[in-house]
Amino acid sequence: MAKRKSGFDVHGILLLDKRPGVSSNQALQEAKRLFKANKAGHTGALDPLATGLLPVCFGEATKVSGLMLGQDKRYLTTVKLGVMTDTGDAEGNVVKTAPVPAISATELNLSLGSFLGASEQVPPMYSALKQNGVKLYELARQGKMVERKARSITVYELKLLAFDGEEMVLEVFCSKGTYIRSLAEDMGAMLGSCATVTALRRLQVGQFQLTDANTLGRLAELDGPALMACLLPVDLPLQTLPAIQLSESETKSIQFGQSIQHLQSYQGMVRLYHCAAFLGLGEMFRDGKIAPKKLFNLNNELPNIK
């Protein structure tokens, strides 16, 4: 594939360990420049204060990024009781202080149990959600408060790892769309005080773990082949879908956008392969007919790095 002026056609998923103090988009752009990639996107923003796992999709992997946005996530967070800020974290201005009631770790654990399971959560004003085309944090910076609709969330696990009477360290496993800052504020209110997040680290996104992620600093030390080896296959997030092997003639028909008749029968979305090459997604019907739905062009170009 011909090289374009802006960069190279690079395809794959990078597990990035985002450093504090930068936005997710800044981290994305830095990774994109490092790989000299034409196209990139991330799968769910982290606040500038937050660190940890930020999956970045290059090239054709952006076609599966939407699936990753909906995955469950795990966080490690430190919550300070007795203080509330306008942003819900330590980067904001203090808007309220309150006494912290005396409570033991055992009592706190029992109280935190009320946050487990499904509930409704009102997103914070300082968020990237849009209202009438304007991001909420832009309105918040203008001093404007608007009504936000509550959204359904689920907290699967909530572990108290440490508590010194004023700060608690928590591990939270939750559904997509859960704002840890809002959860912390609700915890503070439940305890008869207030609270704000002082540290947040994302440990997991769906099947992906922070232990497998790389920092930009480490990536910058790698040469071209070693850097490309850090990319995960585009089809990795799709492993729960059945895999269908196609013949050469079936492959040609699918790539021309034509439906084919296959020996296997299944109803639903399937992964399509020719030998080891991932072709894309198709929809299979009970009669064995497969219609192409989302095809991929995965010819990686090797950036000329070092």
Q: Hey, which residues are catalytic here?
A: 47
* CA–CA dist 207, 68 (Å, integer): 9
Tokens 């739905």 identify what position? 293
Taken in order 122, 124, 127, 130, is the CA torsion positive or negative? positive
Neighbours of 45 (CB within 10 A): 16
In DSSP terms, 18 is beta-bridged to 52
Quickly list DSSP for 184-221: HHHHHHHTTS-EEEEEEEEEEETTEEGGG-B-HHHHHT
Task: Report which secondary-structure segment, H or E, holds 163.
Answer: strand 151-163
What lies within 8 Å, CB to CB, of 257 at 6+ separation is 292
Q: First-to-last CA distance in the chain?
A: 21
